[in-house]
Amino acid sequence: MQKKTVKDVDVRGKRVLVRVDFNVPLGPDGTIEDDSRIRACLPTITYLINHSAKIILCSHLGRPHGKVVESLRLAPVARRLSELLTRPVISLRETIGPRVEKTVADLKDGEVVFLENLRFYPGEEENNPGFSQDLSRLADLYVNDAFGASHRSHASVVGISPFLPCVAGLLMEKELEQLSNLLEHPDRPFAVILGGAKVEEKIGILENIIPKVDLVLVGGGAAAAFLKIQGNPVGNTPVDAETMKVVEKTILRDAMLRGVRILLPEDIVVTKIPEPGSPSLIVPSDQIPPDYVIADIGPRTIATFTKEIEHCRTVAWNGPMGIFEILQFSKGTKAVAQALAGLAGTTVVGGGSTAEAVTQLGLAGKMTHVSTGGGAFLRFLSGKTLPGVDVLLNR
Ligand code: 3PG
Ligand code: MG
């Protein structure tokens, strides 16, 4: 890797500010619904503990937009981290300031302190240099292990870089290596599976990846734009006219010129109201009735998609095949996840809801890599650099 990591610098006895992305999904009662992002940073934190650093963790949680929101305090996250590390984690109710500086000054080698939600301060999202400097005063070294936030030009991600030496954490290193491998030398055949509600968000990936792949499988609401271009009705599934134009003029054209196959669903599960228990129909994909929306791929499509996946040596997947949060519409997503889990080749899954689906199904461990990035994953696969990575020291 081109970037320096925590292993390239001396951390012994140093105060190390570690930016993590512990923006975990919370249930209605504030419980942590998926702690994957916390677990993913354990290698970096454990490395720093074992190398006698003083560890100062910082993260955002949710979008409080510069104000204190009680339900978005990081104390429960710090508690979970403490359980996973099986050692104490000191949880603070502030992020910067004299009291925080005092606690940090008293830290002993190997101790861990967790700062309050960065986004309780307007300076974080505004990328305010004063806020970055206040943060930097707490430490001798900065480690970015927040791959999932590295597309944000915020004070703790980008603005901090003039004030401290900045290196990558071990999760950041793993994410960059896995995702670069995927784009630079994938084993062929290489398929990308795209789903999710909004194809607009995936246009960048499609543009960047068509020259590199052999096959694209499109499911979920994302299929609507493609179906509509072919002149098919898509019921009430929303399709953006601008997106359709780009898909038709750029993506489909490029795919045709390069001999890349784009497979759309043959059959689709549709419903009038995407809610648990609401009635649904399975229809040929060129016959979506008015008033209905796409809820899942149908059984024939599942059979075709899984067969295609079996022949691949590399598969990248972003976006569920339907409304997988609703059990009756989760069959397509589940089948694709199982097909990937059974593949001997390289399987990379990313984007918030897709990673959650795979984790919920208990299949995350069967994938080569499950990215912790949502927007950051999409941006990286679009071939764009990440501002939080750009500012890290080169080797
Ligand atoms: C994410 O969950 O995608 C990251 O934590 C970034 O969060 P944000 O989209 O609120 O900036
Ligand atoms: Mg997001």
Torsion of CA 390, 392, 394, 395, to 10 degrees: -140
Residue 120 pLDDT: 98
pLDDT for the residue 197: 86
Kindly list the protein residues that place their beta carbon closer than 5 angstroms to ligand 2, a single-atom ion. 374-375
Whether 198 sits among the annotated catalytic residues: the reply is yes
pLDDT of residue 238: 87
Ligand lying nearest the CA atom of residue 36: 1
Taking the centre of ligand 2 as the mean of its atom positions, its distance from the CA of residue 308, in whole angstroms, is: 30
Pocket test for ligand 1, best of 19, 21, 158 (most atoms within 8 A of CB): 21
Provide CB contacts within 8 A for 53, sequence distance 6+: 11, 12, 13, 14, 15, 16, 109, 110
Taking the C-alpha atoms of 36, 37, 40 and 42 in order, what is their torsion angle to the nearest 10 degrees? -110
**Of the candidates 172, 232, 98, which has an alpha carbon nearest to the alpha carbon of residue 376?**
172
| The predicted structure's pLDDT at residue 290 | 96
Q: Are strands 267-271 and 280-284 parallel, antiparallel or unpaired?
A: antiparallel
352 is catalytic: yes
What whole-number distance in Å separates Cα of residue 160 and Cα of residue 131?
9
Active site residue 373: no
Active-site residue, selected from the candidate residues 352, 373, 374, 388: 352
Q: pLDDT value at position 352?
A: 80
Per the DSSP assignment, residues forming a β-bridge with 271 are 280, 293
Catalytic residue among 188, 198, 261, 300: 198
pLDDT of residue 198: 83
Q: What is 374-393 written as a DSSP string?
A: SHHHHHHHTT---HHHHTSP
Ligand at shortest distance from the CA of 149: 1
314 — phi, psi (to 5°)? Answer: -140, 135
152 touches ligand 1 (CB under 6 Å):
yes
Rounded to whole angstroms, what are the CA distances from 213 to 5, 249, 369? 31, 19, 18
pLDDT in tens, the chain (395 residues): 899 999 999 999 999 999 999 999 999 998 999 999 999 999 999 999 999 999 999 999 999 999 999 999 999 999 999 999 999 999 999 999 999 999 999 999 999 999 999 999 999 999 999 999 999 999 999 999 999 999 999 999 999 999 999 999 999 999 999 999 999 999 999 999 999 988 888 999 999 999 999 999 999 999 999 999 999 999 999 899 999 999 999 999 999 999 999 999 999 999 999 999 999 999 999 999 999 999 999 999 999 999 999 999 999 999 999 999 999 999 999 999 999 999 999 999 998 889 999 999 999 999 999 999 999 999 999 999 999 999 999 99
